[in-house]
Structure 1
Amino acid sequence: MRFQTLPQWLKWQESLHFTDVDPGLERVGLVWQQLGGTSKLPFTVITIAGTNGKGSSVAMLESILRTAGYRTGTYTSPHLLQYNERICINGQPCDDQTICQSFERIDKARVDTSLTYFEFATLAAADIFGRNNIDIAILEVGMGGRLDAVNLFDTDIALITPIALDHTAWLGTTREAIGFEKAGIIREDKPVVCSENQPPQSLVAHATSLQSPMYLAGGEFNIDIDQHQWHWSNNHTQLQNLPLPALAGAYQLQNASAVLQVISLLNDQDYDIAEEAIKKGLTTVQLAGRFQQIHGDITTILDVTHNQQGAENLAKLLVEIPCKGETFAVLSMLKDKDVVAVASILKPVIDTWYVSGLEGSRGMTSDVLAAQLSNIIDESKIKPFPTVIEAYQQAINSAQKGDRVLVFGSFHTVEAVLNARI
């Protein structure tokens, strides 16, 4: 074996390929063929693409399916605390040995073909799932869809969550361009579920060209909200008095509604997912870093929001769940994110901004972040710090009982604070 530990493998993978992001299926597809794999995996595949809500949708779908007695595999990215979170079986992260053994198989098969960190992970997930007799895999696209490594595998049902501007350097600068990239996960004659009522026309056109049945929110399936419960229906199923998802935010009903349409399609394909499993799955779902609250005299809120659409959802939640005192933000972001778009939305609900830099080539420095914020926020309310932890500690020290500290802007921002609190 090339390496004996998971950290050794991961450090090597970080520099194996000449660039972190290199969209395309040729290299990863060649290695998968050399591993003996094909595009059709030996279990049901649900592929999830979109800008916001992918992680929540994966979590709710997996929770319901596992509650119904199915053996699940989930592949998500990025991770928060441990790499192992990316590849889970029945809700449990795979252990280091399992992942290392898969890496060794991939390394031998690739010969001299270069792979990115993400491509290694994607192949490992498919390899591990195939060796663990799962019933169904839920695969989260990393970025876009058409050229993402996850799209190497044919999906049985595509789920596309709300689409907004993000990763514009790779996916395009309009919603239509991004929608076309997301639509790449759709397969001929296979159903596609959209969390939105009006997805980009480019997505609709692509699905139509493939004769893939489309199920749109507010069209083929609908919800009715009634305070602390909700009702869901499509053309042949009605689910009454459903509990609200355990994930915070009214917008989670949009994600949950599309998930239930996927469940309905699975039941049409001879799955047996009962209403009680749906209800229990919704109430027991867990997902770190999505308005995750750590209560105390000063509440800490952790949220991985990093784009305009996510900021809109976060702002609504902060209003829906007010605090007695002030709200302090701890913010750090990657260079390719639209700082002004995000901050403009959250400006009315945040009192003071503690900004910090992120390490790595993609991280934005605190000085650059503060300068961008100063275009729309009074400089007296902006306090820059070199690291996330320094910014968080100062925010906590400045806060009083009844205040809250919101940590957001990137998975890396939330990861740093979670690690510091363990």
Structure 2
Amino acid sequence: MSTPRALADWLSHIQAQHPQAIAMGLDRVRAVAGRLGLQRPAARVITVGGTNGKGSTVAFIEAIGRAAGWKVGAYTSPHLLRYNERVRIDGAQADDAALVEAFEAVEAARGEIALTYFEYGTLAALWLFQRSALDLAILEVGLGGRLDAVNVVDPDVAVITTVDVDHTEWLGPDRDSIGREKAGIARAWKPLVLGEVSIPGTVLRHAYAIAAAVIQGGNDFFHEPLEDGRWRWREVGYELELPALPLDAPVQRANAATAIAAVRALDGGEALAPAVFASGVAQATVPGRLQRLERDGVEIRLDVGHNPQAARALADWLQAHPVQGPTVAVFAALADKAVEEVVQALAPHIARWQLAGIDDAGPRSLSAEQLLQRAPTLQGRAVLHETVAQAVEAAVAQAGPAGRVLVFGSFHTVGQALAALHSHK
């Protein structure tokens, strides 16, 4: 490359290098990783996959690791406001200069190999991690598991949070086929932590076939509520009493419990003091998971939930946390989502709907008019907007101080809402 580029220029460049936005397979990444001389990104590695709960589980693992005094790197996706959110080292987002240097290294190594946007980002993150002398690297799967770019790294512990129907175009039509793909991150004789009891049989069969050491929520570890938001984590012969979580929603306790199991499965994890786990789970934060903001006296909740399983969890939270006034939804989704199922899960808890378009997701973009066509039960009940920002304005006015606004449907939706709300301050 003859002249250096700013980070924004690099992101535009890598977006255009592969003809497909998503192209499953590890051959390209393995080849470039070899040319880069990439080996293990840290002394310990945890890879986190699953349909929902990945980002929160990564955040809990990261916080516990840092509470233990470890130097921790975390690679997650997608981002909400800035690409830099995807790569964290010792609690700080990678700055523009570091990311540019990493992209330059990947570009110089790839030669004739066309990489996708996610593959570029994964290799750049691994390149930065390898140079940071990390005690722990946490890698979040982007899509599926078996053929996802992060799977070029052999983890010490693999985690599957939940399995539900999503990304069917790439992963298969049902939980069994999707579970089979997600199970591909497991390694022979290494721990595989499963966050849910009702995991598809394909996951367990694969784990047993390769002799992975399964550690399953509801069988091998447990969590239960105590008073005042506190809770207990336990396994045979060991238990922890833990403080209330900073992340809202009941599902976060399951994510935190899964994170504790993953850290304890690491070499040295069982020796960590109870105070390390208590401090870690109390400090974990991740935006866009029932995140609370306020605008003109109106409570706004933002959640990146975008599939039926996530919608059911949101519905449970809304039922448990009623407000006096109306709950108004701001909903925008991508074209490959089960829109009608999401709407049906939440409809009993939503008084009014403000639908918005997403126009920055390439072929997965969906206008408000197209969204309404995909959700026929909302005909005559929804107002359409060109942008998420416009929908948020209308929702705040509709909800009033006694009501609530729920913004959900995708990372794009929440990211655009956050940008609009921050610009209003």
TM (normalized to structure 2)?
0.95
Structure 2 matches for 1:122-161, cutoff 5 A? 122-161=122-161
- Structure 1 gap ranges (5+): none
Partner residue in 1 for 2:4:
3
Partner residue in 2 for 1:25:
26
Question: 1:343 Cα shift?
Answer: 0.4
Alpha carbons 1:304, 1:414 under 8 Å: kept: yes
State the one-letter code of the partner of 1:82: R
Alpha carbons 1:3, 1:9 under 8 Å: kept: no
Counterpart CA distance in 1 for 2:363 and 2:262 is 38
Question: 1:285 Cα shift?
Answer: 1.2
Deviations, residues 320-366 of structure 1 (Å, cap 9, x unaligned): 22212001111100000011100001001101111011013211111
Counterpart CA distance in 2 for 1:271 and 1:126 is 27
Q: Secondary structure at the match of 2:275?
A: helix
Structure 2 matches for 1:297-336, cutoff 5 A? 297-336=297-336
Counterpart CA distance in 2 for 1:389 and 1:224 is 39
Partner residue in 2 for 1:277:
276
Question: 1:280 Cα shift?
Answer: 1.4
Question: 1:295 Cα shift?
Answer: 3.0
Question: 1:46 Cα shift?
Answer: 0.1
Does 1:258 find its partner at 2:258? yes
Structure 2 matches for 1:12-411, cutoff 5 A? 12-38=13-39, 40-227=40-227, 228-239=229-240, 241-266=241-266, 269=268, 272-296=271-295, 297-359=297-359, 360-373=362-375, 375-377=376-378, 379-411=379-411
Deviations, residues 25-70 of structure 1 (Å, cap 9, x unaligned): 00111000011124x4442100000000000100011111101111
Question: 1:376 Cα shift?
Answer: 1.9
Counterpart CA distance in 2 for 1:274 and 1:68 is 8
Counterpart CA distance in 2 for 1:16 and 1:109 is 14
Question: 1:110 Cα shift?
Answer: 0.6
State the one-letter code of the partner of 1:56: S
Counterpart CA distance in 2 for 1:244 and 1:380 is 42
State the one-letter code of the partner of 1:417: A
- Structure 2 gap ranges (5+): none
CA RMSD of aligned residues (A): 1.3
Deviations, residues 90-143 of structure 1 (Å, cap 9, x unaligned): 111000000100111110111111001100100011100110111000000000
Partner residue in 1 for 2:416:
416
Alpha carbons 2:38, 2:126 under 8 Å: kept: no
Question: 1:270 Cα shift?
Answer: 6.1
Which stretch of structure 1 is more off in the superposition, 295-304 or 174-183? 295-304
Counterpart CA distance in 2 for 1:28 and 1:406 is 39
Counterpart CA distance in 2 for 1:214 and 1:272 is 20
Q: Percent identity?
A: 40
Q: Secondary structure at the match of 2:45?
A: strand
Q: Secondary structure at the match of 1:318?
A: helix
TM (normalized to structure 1)?
0.96
Deviations, residues 246-280 of structure 1 (Å, cap 9, x unaligned): 110111111111111112212x5467422112111
Counterpart CA distance in 2 for 1:20 and 1:161 is 25
Counterpart CA distance in 1 for 2:41 and 2:64 is 22
Counterpart CA distance in 1 for 2:43 and 2:127 is 12
Counterpart CA distance in 2 for 1:376 and 1:421 is 29
Counterpart CA distance in 2 for 1:36 and 1:332 is 42
Counterpart CA distance in 1 for 2:65 and 2:270 is 10
The alignment of Structure 1 onto Structure 2 pairs a total of residues equal to: 417
Counterpart CA distance in 1 for 2:329 and 2:377 is 15
Alpha carbons 2:42, 2:137 under 8 Å: kept: no
Mark the CA change 1:163 to 1:355 in structure 2 (over 3 Å): closer, same or farther. Answer: same
Deviations, residues 175-217 of structure 1 (Å, cap 9, x unaligned): 0000000000011111100001131111111111111110111
Counterpart CA distance in 1 for 2:115 and 2:354 is 37
Alpha carbons 2:197, 2:218 under 8 Å: kept: yes
